[in-house]
Structure 1
Amino acid sequence: MTLLDAARAVQLNAYAPYSKFKVGAAIRTKSGAVYSGCNVENVAYPEGTCAEAGAIAAMCAAGDYDIVEVAVIAESPGPVPPCGGCRQKLAEFAEGEAKVTMATLSGETLVMTVAELLPGAFGAEHMDQV
């Protein structure tokens, strides 16, 4: 199963009764493990969870922290990039060259890196570490 297949499989489980916009995400870590997540909405907008955030939470719950590849899929006219908050979350756990594949259910894809998605990312180097 490819990373995109894993994202497609979990996309079906998204809980999106309000937007009807189901998103699936899968991440591969340096260890080779794959973690998946789907968006989970809540009637009290914006209290839902993005698919990427769900996959990252599953990764951290397993004690894994180094993302090397990401796949995101949704039923959309074009590939859907992670939202701004999820771009920052991905940058927390991935190097800039980590590949992000964005796809539609019809098979269109767009591949970028984390650095291309979030140029000038805020990072730990900006914090006073002294």
Structure 2
Amino acid sequence: MGDTNGRADQESEETWIQSATNPDQQIRLRSLGIYLENGGSVVDCRVIEDAEGLWTIYVRLSDRPGEHRVNMYKSDQPKTYRAVNLAVNTIRDDFGYFGPVVLSTERRAGGPRQTSSEADEAEG
């Protein structure tokens, strides 16, 4: 019986990955925290700015294949940040990752721009 419960626990821990066939795998912030507490680690990070100027974090995990988009704590929507420094602080402080972070953007020339002081005002 103990083996059956252990197997059920393992299966419940596996449910945080959205789908193995989904090229844009996702992990909730809550599940990532549990994963890190249980000894997992982030091995690579990428932060992407969308066309509206919001930043989203993608991580590669030590024992999981592929890249995972970080979603909100209790939602399957992406966790976004208004300023890149907030995303980098999360990666460093919450995920314990101090390696290289790749920054990229989906914005194109001529789109709306937000200065760092405007981003700070929006946060405060």
Q: TM-score, normalised by structure 2?
A: 0.27
Higher relative contact order (CA 8 A, sep 6+): 2
Larger Rg: 2
